[in-house]
Chains A and B, each alone.
Chain A
Amino acid sequence: MSDDILSPLHDEHVALGAALTSFAGWQMPLRYSSDIAEHQAVRTAAGLFDLSHMGELEVAGTDAGRALDRALVGNLSALEPGRARYTMICAEDGGVIDDLVVYRLSTDRYLVVANASNVAVVREALVERLGEDALLVDNSLATALVAVQGPLAEKILTGLTPQAEAVAALRYYASVNATVAGIDALVARTGYTGEDGFELFVAAEHAPALWAALLEAGEPHGLVPAGLSARDSLRLEAGMPLYGNELDRTTTPHDAGLGRVVKLDKVDADGRPVPFVGRDALAARAEAEPARQLVGLQGLGRRAARHGYPVTTPGGEVIGKVTSGAPSPTLGHPVAMAYVTPEHAAEGTELLVDVRGRGEQVRVVALPFYRRSR
């Protein structure tokens, strides 16, 4: 705990009475008051998150896009400046090293956002894979990331910026440079909650002023600070994967139902297929009968399935494992994601989860569990 990195917003969290937790080497807010109240605020109004633990790696160079095409599974050279993509970095065997959001800041600059737990390994892999073709700078410690998420996020944020029109006009997975509360920020319409919302990248030293301005402007709209606990229950309802749960080195993007992020058909400047790291294994995986499949499980009882619990047939044969699970604050019943064998993955299939020695009935349902109305 004492070795944890403190967020640039640490003093703000302490002043707000947050319960802090050690997460991926950082001391971060788990909750401020109530997990459920914070969760519901994001679903109905807005929540303010400190995500400064996330890693920000800048990749620059005239050939940066092509270099990233070779390093990642996505087609980053085709990304327009001002747009972003959800993508992954895989090992040669197709296993996921991390899931990433990559922003194209300009023709020759990209921002790669990695999970806190994986920043070092992603940085090392990128340095090796990019070689001389692009320059990588790790800005993780100098950058704060603050997210405003929820149906009122746009209203709150546009009240704080002279570029209100540009911010309001942002499409999902697009970004723009804007001044928010007098602070230079990269404003992106991205998030991890299943709601509309924005993520703001700012210099770490400006984070406290930005945080205070957003809290003050948001309060009349019902915005509350929200911790990692709410973030986890929100992303679970939205069916979004969490590295370490749904994704790890032993899973491929296809296992997680995310084969669409793997661009096997991307080509280089000469029109030849790009031999990106993991391509051969992933091409084979795309054709193969999957050994397992990520599914949604609706709990029919009260006791929630949790990470690591075995999934069985009604007869007790183990056919999978839970990756994430919790009582859903929005839906009022337990939900979980799990890897199961394909013959038990059809919607409507009734299964059991071994919840601490007792079978709890679950039903396979479509993901996501929650989809916002637009």
Chain B
Amino acid sequence: MTAELPAHLKYTVEHEWLDDAAPATVGITSVAADALGDIVYLELPAVGETLSAGSVIGEIESTKSVSELFSPVSGTVAEVNQAAVDDPSLVNSDPFGAGWLLKVDVTETGPVLTADEYAAQSGG
């Protein structure tokens, strides 16, 4: 499972990932997507919304369960992945690529892990 985690990304214990671009791209990990099963509905914050690190900013719903999306950063939503909202299966098929969720203008980053640290935490 570790091999699937891109090393250039940062991870949270709540199974989000983010990159260090500006704005930063945020998504959920393959671990989270696999655990949820087929994702059928994403509820994401709107462009311009202010986020604070660690707070609940959305929901990810599968046939089997639902999971809250926690913001790994504080900042402002710059873009929402409309393609993933329209076809949430992208989050299952390509969680680190086409299934990204948000781009955020970051003011402050919350606690993050490296890929290896996250793999150890998530039992991968």
> Which chain A residue lies CB-closest to B43?
A303
- Known contacts A19-B34, A303-B59, A232 near B41 by CB under 8 Å: no
14 contacts across the A-B interface (CB closer than 8 A): A34-B37, A34-B92, A36-B40, A36-B63, A229-B63, A233-B64, A302-B43, A303-B43, A304-B61, A306-B66, A326-B63, A326-B64, A329-B63, A356-B59
Q: How large is the interface on B (under 10, 10 to 19, 20 to 34, 35 or more residues)?
A: 10 to 19
- B-side contacts of A254, CB under 8 Å: none
Q: Which of B10-67 touch A at CB < 8 Å? A: 34, 37-38, 40-41, 43, 59, 61-66
- Known contacts A19-B34, A229-B37, A327-B41, A35 near B61 by CB under 8 Å: no
Residues of A in contact (CB 8 Å), total 19
State A306–B63 Cα separation when bound (angstroms): 10
- A-side contacts of B61, CB under 8 Å: 302-304, 327
Is the Cβ of B37 less than 8 Å from the Cβ of A327? no
Cβ of A31 within 8 Å of any chain B Cβ, yes or no, is: yes
- A-side contacts of B59, CB under 8 Å: 303, 356
Q: Which residues from chain A sit less than 8 Å from chain B, CB to CB?
A: 19, 30-31, 34-37, 39, 229, 232-233, 302-304, 306, 326-327, 329, 356
- Known contacts A303-B61, A327-B63, A36 near B38 by CB under 8 Å: yes
Is the Cβ of A303 less than 8 Å from the Cβ of B34? no
Q: Which residues from chain B sit less than 8 Å from chain A, CB to CB?
A: 34, 37-38, 40-41, 43, 59, 61-66, 92
> Which chain A residue lies CB-closest to B56?
A356
* Among B34, B40, B43, B92, contact of A327 (Cβ-Cβ < 8 Å): B40
State A307–B43 Cα separation when bound (angstroms): 20
> Which chain B residue lies CB-closest to A228?
B64
Interface majority SS on A: helix, strand, loop or mixed? mixed
* Among A31, A302, A303, contact of B37 (Cβ-Cβ < 8 Å): A31
Is the Cβ of A35 less than 8 Å from the Cβ of B62? yes
* Among B41, B63, B65, contact of A39 (Cβ-Cβ < 8 Å): B63
> Which chain A residue lies CB-closest to B92?
A34
- B-side contacts of A232, CB under 8 Å: 64
State A302–B88 Cα separation when bound (angstroms): 13
Top 5 A-B pairs, shortest CB-CB distance: A36-B38, A35-B37, A35-B38, A327-B40, A229-B64
* Among B38, B43, B65, contact of A34 (Cβ-Cβ < 8 Å): B38
B58: min CB distance to chain A, Å: 11
State A232–B65 Cα separation when bound (angstroms): 12
- Known contacts A19-B34, A327-B61, A302 near B41 by CB under 8 Å: yes
A301: min CB distance to chain B, Å: 10
13 more contacts with CB within 8 A, not counting A35-B62, A303-B41, A303-B61, are: A30-B37, A34-B38, A34-B92, A35-B37, A35-B63, A36-B40, A229-B63, A233-B63, A302-B41, A303-B59, A303-B66, A306-B65, A356-B59
